Amino acid sequence: MDIQSIKNRFGIIGNAPALNHALNTAAQVANTDLSVLIAGESGVGKEAFSNIIHALSARKHNSFIAVNCGAIPEGTIDSELFGHEKGSFTGAVDSRKGYFETVNGGTIFLDEIGEMPLGTQARLLRVLETGEFIRVGSSKVQKTDVRVIAATNRDLLEHTQNGKFREDLYYRLSTVPIRVPALRDRKEDIPLLFRKFASDFSERYKTTSVQLDAGAQQLLVNYPWPGNVRELKNIAEQISVLSTDKQITTDALRQFLPNRETSRSLALVPAGSAAPAPSGKDFNSPTERDILYKLFFDLKKDMNDMKQMMLDMADQQGYTPRGMTDSFIQPYNSEPVPVPVNTPSYNSSSTPILIQQPEQHQPHEEVEETLLLSDKEKEMIVKALKKHKSRRRDAANELGISERTLYRKIKEYDIKE
């Protein structure tokens, strides 16, 4: 079958030399049982090539299954591919056939093969070399006759050097390598693809097909298309649905294309601001560490607000609470710390607060410090709420604490407003 017939049969659009070479290789290798490794960026249509190879092979009347290795959890991929016996692991209530058993005589397409765990890679290598596999939890060797077509958007050769992919498996899979070109490497095909997608969407949505003027067409060709054919198809669908004017100009097209210039300009940090991370990671975005720091700082501020309020209360009532120091909240210290007479205490803003020792003390029963403070605190909060008729914001301002702290204290002391 010639290249044009393959394009017509499988809906392949384009005449770029790199695309024609990939199609020609797929047609030549289809009628063999050789393993094929399809390489290319995400969105270039690698699965379409696996369908072409299977449909043109002697296995075309048998099963074909596509498996995304990156979408299967590492703990279950062996069971998915090779099956398992009853009781072989938690949840294995029955025996199960794997894909290599159910697709016997057909073709299995392993997409994103670079995501496959190393242990599973060893099992796959055995299937490729001997046609044998063992179910998870079994010791019985079984035979299968399955053709393997693999695909990846990674540099597997580099992964073999980093120990992330078995070198022997790489060479066993890439008996016949096929590289599908990126869309930016076949610019002459972009207008053809857009017209095809626009026509399909106009038929689907019962609208008039959109047309690009010369400027818009040039802009479409010059755009780098990081998402490849998938991204171009999405843009064509957006324009077909959202555009009121079916004659698309350059300005109209720019509204649908991501503004890469704006994205690059955001990376240029103005003077006086933090420099961007060299690795490309956005350290200005909130992280767990930043959130924890903020929570700690807010908590410290609330504690200082309460401390200031209690010191003011002590000064107004004419007594010095025992243990009232700069860090008077001491949850792990059972012994109160006495405060020397006329010794200044400092809050977070470094403003000295002089605590005067009263001249006379009325005899009173010794009360545990934490209970005395909580009683006084509750009393002051109740007074403030009554004074401001339960307006919590005004009461918080009166007490010199944050509104959030007041909410928490109302709940803590079960204060009925």
Give how far the C-alpha of residue 124 lies from the chain's centroid of Cα atoms, to the nearest Å: 29
At 81, give phi and psi (nearest 5°). -80, -40
What domains appear along the chain, each with residue ranges and CATH number? 3-181 (3.40.50.300), 186-264 (1.10.8.60), 290-359+366-412 (no CATH)
The Cα 364–Cα 188 span in angstroms is 95
Is residue 286 within 8 Å of 325, Cβ to Cβ? no
Question: Which of 44, 7, 35 is CA-nearest to residue 232?
Answer: 44
Q: 207: phi > 0 → left, psi -120 to 50 → alpha, else beta; which?
A: beta
- Which residues lie below 8 Å from residue 345, measured CB to CB, with a gap of 6+? 311, 324, 325, 326, 339, 352, 353, 355
The reported pLDDT for the residue numbered 341 is 44
The reported pLDDT for the residue numbered 104 is 96
- Tell me which of 24-38, 169-183, 283-297 is least confident: 283-297
The reported pLDDT for the residue numbered 334 is 41
The Cα 15–Cα 189 span in angstroms is 7
Question: Which of 220, 156, 214 is CA-nearest to residue 183?
Answer: 220
The reported pLDDT for the residue numbered 53 is 97
pLDDT bracket for residue 320 (50, 70, 90) = low
- Number of other residues whose CB lies within 10 A of the CB of residue 226: 14
Question: Which of 102, 97, 70 is CA-nearest to residue 86?
Answer: 97
Tell me which DSSP letter residue 282 carries.
-
At 68, give phi and psi (nearest 5°). -90, 105
pTM of the shown model? 0.61
Condensed to tens digits (0 to 9), the pLDDT of residues 196-222 reads 999 999 999 999 999 999 999 999 999
Condensed to tens digits (0 to 9), the pLDDT of residues 331-350 reads 444 444 444 444 444 444 44
Structure-token pair, residue 356: 């005067």
> Dmax of the chain from CA atoms?
110
Is residue 144 within 8 Å of 101, Cβ to Cβ? yes
